[in-house]
Structure 1
Amino acid sequence: MRLASVLICLGLALAGPAVAVQPDEILPNAALEQRARQLSSGLRCLVCQNQSIDDSDAPLARDLRILVRERLVAGDSDRAVIDFVVARYGDFVLLSPPVNARTIALWVAPFTILAAGLIFLWRRRRMNAAPATATPALSADEQRRLDELTRGDS
């Protein structure tokens, strides 16, 4: 059982990135194909949402890969291709969205959550480390009354 676990972990560690580009999509011009791969690796699959269109087998990802290649063959620059896809699908299609007014929450939220968590832990630790306040000593009257109550005398 242990050997099987080690082999599975080793296989996963050695596995390379999956590339879903089909042979019929590959451009004959190697320079354009390289540009297409570079561009498509930065575009999010709208179906999978955590993969690039280069890694996704979804039909929409295939359509986007073909679109990118068509735009490159038509002579568009890399920036023009990205702008075209973003104009059609929005900033969400970018795996690394730009920092602007609409996406600032995406960039700031992780740091805000981390800071809030650290402040919470710091305050909790400080509160637990504070020494307990000593109970004030009983006055003579209070001690006498306590003794009476514990003995059962009223």
Structure 2
Amino acid sequence: MFHFLRNINCLGFVGLLLFVGIFYAVAISYVLHFIGFSSNSAAPVQEALFAKGWLRVFVMAVLVGPLFETALHQLLIRRVMQRAGFESRMGYVLISAIAFGLAHSLGLQFWGAFIFGLLLAMGFVARDFPGGHPYLLVACVHSLRNAVSFVVFLFAA
């Protein structure tokens, strides 16, 4: 998997990770609905959109948030682990995904964020070579996925 992500072009990388990120979110939603979890996780987001203004929420969720979270959950963790001599890619992926999941832990949202964190961390470590642009590509995937979620929440209201 790392080898494939490492060798795919930048546009293919962003497109693939974005597709997988949206696909798993839809799949998880259907599975949770099928087994009887019908809590409306969109309600708090929708309330925030209207209470704080949709433009402010858009800027934070689609622009600022992904840049900050990618720096914190992928870049910082990867560099600290490298400096400490810990080079296990799978160890990094798990630690990064757990941190990402915990940062988004509102009930069942942890698991969705954990899975998305796995995807982002795998992408980051696969592109972590000179000229691979791991920070920019992973932040772009994160931002685009948040943009899709934003539009869905905005029009679901």
Q: What is the TM-score with the length of structure 1 in the denominator?
A: 0.25
Instruction: Please state which structure has a larger fraction of its residues in helix.
Output: 2
- Find the structure with the greater CA-based Rg: 1
